Structure 1
Amino acid sequence: METTTSESNRPGVTILPGQSVEGTMGVPGSKSLAQRHLLAAFLAQGRTQVECVPECGDVEALLGALRCLAGDEWGQDGVYEGGGWASSEAHGERTTLSAGESGTAARLLTACLALGGPSRGPVHLAVEGSLALRCSRALIESLVGAGAMLGPPSVLQAAPDSSWPLDIDPVACPGQLTLRDPASSQEISALLFALAARGGGRLTVRGSMPSEPYIRMTESVLADFGVQVDEVDGLFSVTGRLRAPAHALVVEPDASAAAVVLAAGCVSGGGVRVPGLTSSSTQGDLRIIEYLGT
């Protein structure tokens, strides 16, 4: 195994036939975890230190949107001042935000903005790329059912072509929300965040729950911020208010990226360690370890 440099001047590793992959390898942080940590830090009371935030398009999109609300310097030093919509520099004014091409950012922001309270002011949530062709019908219907005022009219059709861009006139979050036949776990996570920002409430999910590990990830992140989520047969009870944890939060290495190097070590007869990733992780992709060990 030898270290090489590509034409783009990025270091890499070349594995030659007969060689094994050995050693300790670092991988970028999980963008799914990072986005949840950052939104919770924005909504929570207090100052949250978040370390190992990955530099990637999805995370940068959410950071950019939150900095439009909290100020350009928000989190530049790795410490994120909370306060939610009350701390927003655009408090009460019409704001244009972009979720980029991140479906996670788009859904989390849609729910939290729509149910963020009328003093938040109207918001135009834009997206980029293929996300402009994607729908989140179950989430939109849930928010409209909760009293949210969304537009343009095309997103409210029975079979919309897209859910974004979206015009949002925020309303206060009710204590009871219902989500029917979600197509993505992000829709469930988005409403759990909205309830956590409210200080608690209940979410009833009717139909199957896709990608449950990501729902457990959301529950774990909210627990880091003092919010308890209990779920029984699709009924989620959210208790507590978001408060910054006393300790620094470290974004775990991305399990899907780690899976590649772990598999390389396994198939080459070597051994690879990825620091910071443990068996207690809520990332679903970590299940590859079960197969590598067989």
Structure 2
Amino acid sequence: MTETPVHPALWPAPVASGAVDATVTVPGSKSVTNRALVLASLAAEPGWLRRPLRSRDTLLMAEALRALGVGIEETVSSSSSAAGPRRLRRGLARDPGGSARPRHDRRRQRRYGHALPAPVAALADGPIRFDGDPRSYERPLNGVIDALRALGARIDDDGRGALPLTVHGGGALDGGRVRIDASSSSQFVSALLLSAPRFNQGVEVRHTGASLPSMPHIRMTVDMLRSVGAQVDEPETGGEPNVWRVSPSALLGRDLTVEPDLSNAQPFLAAALITGGKVTIPDWPERTTQPGDQLRRIFTEMGGSYELTERGLVFTGSGSIHGIDVDLSEVGELTPGIAAVAALADSPSTLRGVAHLRLHETDRLAALTKEINELGGDVTETADGLHIRPRRLHGGIFHTYDDHRMATAGSIIGLAVEGVQIENVATTAKTLPDFPRMWTDMLTGAGN
């Protein structure tokens, strides 16, 4: 009798045989690494990044900056140095979010890739062309394109408001005041603020749309700017609401150790919660702007407990998982993992404030609803989120839509449900290289 071949793109999600007890070292933050690369490229002196994340997204960011003329040297596997030349040169830059993305079968997919290098290109000497895979052409970038034009940049995009596009750098940019609707992506604000110290007049960015999602990422941008000598006025420190001002100045090179990516710690903390076990994440910072730090509060409300020690964060599950009613507008990237845990809880959950997730790597709200329900779940979309009623789940294929957070969400469910197969688990390499090995090591205790 011939065995039925296993589909090469399907990964059998391991089922936990008991309570996990593991130490998991999470790689560096993607958001911190990419911002640090941009700031170092614009600094007046070299800077060092220690423990940067080396993933698909950060390697493409480094590649884009090198194409602009930035010198980035990797000295060992865990550190690198970067220095911006006096004049950035012309070249071709590949969009760091430019991978092909299949359309979701319910709605047209749109994805906001990295807007961070575009303002840097406006400071270059000559034309810089940004390109990516064909699917990346669907990502609207009107916010940052229109803002840069208002600040004096010349950009050719044939009216698409998306890739491919050419930024005609003149070696400098006037800067000044700009109004922008960033309600679909806070990255548009961050992109302008990071390069603003090199603009002749600095910048005043005024957000004019609905409430901003992912505010912790803007706080991260402001903190990192101040750490290299920039002067920033912001709403958080008594400034005008929805207005950020950055003064022109030289940026300092600095020696930065990149924090662990706390959002990428989510599946491992979820494993402790689901199995009633314990997971330690080394080097968890006492103070951080990373959205993933909210996991301590959220997963505690769902039934766990934590202690911040010299070793790091020690998170312990109680053996029970409770539903939650939570506003995730500031931490939308955590939604897939929270939804996966909620599907295994003992009471319903409502996840609110995340309508903008319909414009992420895929339509994450539609994707989560479809995939959890196909495993026997009961998830319904609301105007701005999800309502999840726990039901007994069964095995099946969990599609990821090339979205790394969908892949880890399916793996979380697979801890408690036999027969879950993750389609294209390799998409986790976007921010969490070698996730399958880390997951298996956690379950076997190999990380202790």
Bin the TM-score by the shorter chain: 0.7 to 0.9
Specify whether residues 67 and 99 from structure 1 end up closer, same or farther in structure 2 by C-alpha distance, changes over 3 A only.
same
How far is the alpha carbon of 1:129 from its aligned partner?
A: 4.8
Give me the TM-score of the superposition, normalised by structure 2: 0.55
1:213 maps to what in 2? 216
How far is the alpha carbon of 1:292 from its aligned partner?
A: 1.9
Tell me whether 1:276 sits opposite 2:283 in the alignment.
Answer: yes
Specify whether residues 272 and 228 from structure 1 end up closer, same or farther in structure 2 by C-alpha distance, changes over 3 A only.
farther
Determine which of 238, 248, 252 is the counterpart of 2:246: 238
5 Å-filtered alignment, 1:49-88, equals 49-70=48-69, 74-77=72-75, 78-84=79-85, 86-88=86-88
How far is the alpha carbon of 1:180 from its aligned partner?
A: 2.3
Determine which of 102, 126, 132 is the counterpart of 2:131: 126
| Identity rate, percent | 28
Query: Structure 1: how far apart are the matches of 2:283 and 2:113?
Result: 25
Tell me whether 1:135 sits opposite 2:140 in the alignment.
Answer: yes
How far is the alpha carbon of 1:223 from its aligned partner?
A: 2.0
1:5 maps to what in 2? none
Question: Hey, which of these two has a bigger chunk of helix by percent?
Answer: 1
How far is the alpha carbon of 1:87 from its aligned partner?
A: 4.8
* Structure 1 segments of 4+ aligned residues over 6 angstroms from their partners: none
Query: Structure 2: how far apart are the matches of 1:173 and 1:70?
Result: 17
Specify whether residues 105 and 68 from structure 1 end up closer, same or farther in structure 2 by C-alpha distance, changes over 3 A only.
farther
Amino acid at match of 1:97: A
Specify whether residues 16 and 152 from structure 1 end up closer, same or farther in structure 2 by C-alpha distance, changes over 3 A only.
closer
1:3 maps to what in 2? none
How far is the alpha carbon of 1:38 from its aligned partner?
A: 0.8
2:439 maps to what in 1? none
Q: Which has the larger radius of gyration?
A: 2
Asked if the contact 2:157–2:163 (Cα under 8 Å) also holds between the matched residues in 1, the reply is no
Tell me whether 1:164 sits opposite 2:172 in the alignment.
Answer: no
Gapped regions of structure 2 (runs ≥ 5): 1-7, 99-110, 235-239, 302-448
Tell me whether 1:112 sits opposite 2:120 in the alignment.
Answer: yes
Asked if the contact 2:179–2:205 (Cα under 8 Å) also holds between the matched residues in 1, the reply is yes
5 Å-filtered alignment, 1:245-284, equals 245=254, 248-284=255-291
Asked if the contact 1:101–1:128 (Cα under 8 Å) also holds between the matched residues in 2, the reply is no
Specify whether residues 29 and 254 from structure 1 end up closer, same or farther in structure 2 by C-alpha distance, changes over 3 A only.
same
Query: Structure 1: how far apart are the matches of 2:163 and 2:194?
Result: 20
2:181 maps to what in 1? 181
Query: Structure 1: how far apart are the matches of 2:87 and 2:174?
Result: 21
Specify whether residues 279 and 66 from structure 1 end up closer, same or farther in structure 2 by C-alpha distance, changes over 3 A only.
same
Asked if the contact 1:108–1:190 (Cα under 8 Å) also holds between the matched residues in 2, the reply is yes
Root-mean-square deviation (Å): 2.5
Gapped regions of structure 1 (runs ≥ 5): 1-7
RCO higher in structure (CA 8 A, sep ≥6): 1
Amino acid at match of 1:214: H
Query: Which is worse superposed, 263-272 or 142-151?
Result: 263-272
Query: Structure 1: how far apart are the matches of 2:49 and 2:139?
Result: 31
Q: How many residues align?
A: 266
Give me the TM-score of the superposition, normalised by structure 1: 0.81
Amino acid at match of 1:287: Q
Asked if the contact 1:42–1:80 (Cα under 8 Å) also holds between the matched residues in 2, the reply is no
Tell me whether 1:99 sits opposite 2:95 in the alignment.
Answer: yes
Asked if the contact 1:178–1:206 (Cα under 8 Å) also holds between the matched residues in 2, the reply is no
1:190 maps to what in 2? 191
